[in-house]
Amino acid sequence: MSIDFSSLASALGQLEKSIKFAKSDIALQDDELFEQLRNSVIQCFEFTYELSGKMLKRYLEESSANPEEIDASSFQNLIRRGNEQGLLRSDWSQWKIYRQARTNSSHTYDADKAEKVYEIAPDFLEEARYLYQKLTTKD
């Protein structure tokens, strides 16, 4: 399999750094700094979420006997297939929450929505790490 997963690795690193900086003592003592770092976490979450979905789809297409079927699949079906193959830590019920957070992230001008996306980012980081580890160690 010849999929380059380096962009996902980079996105994971950026999301991890953003979360670390947003949770730092300095950020927690300065509301304006925290807001900027929270926005960074949200942007990194968006990018990592999108890449995770794309990499999962590419992997499933390359490993499928019928790539056209995978290409035509709904996102929910891609998550189901990924879960069946042990590529994902969580099932559709959790990925649906991540998907809603991604949808909400385009409305970060709403402080409550932004905070909810920020709060889910660390859990998604673990999900995306799990996916990356599985994708890069599969035969």
pTM for the full model?
0.93
Catalytic residue among 38, 81, 102, 129: 102
Going from the N-terminus, what domains does the chain have, and what CATH number goes with each?
A: 6-137 (1.20.120.330)
* Chain segment 22-67, per-residue pLDDT in tens: 999 999 999 999 999 999 999 999 999 999 999 999 999 999 888 8
Are the CB atoms for 27 and 34 separated by under 8 Å?
A: yes
43 phi-psi bin (left φ>0, alpha ψ -120 to 50, beta other): alpha
Active site residue 129: no
Are the CB atoms for 121 and 19 separated by under 8 Å?
A: yes
Active site residue 107: yes
* Chain segment 91-110, per-residue pLDDT in tens: 999 999 999 999 988 765 78
Count of residues making up the chain = 139
Burial 45-72 (b: 16+ CB within 10 A, else e): bbbbbebbbebbbbbbbebeeeeeebee
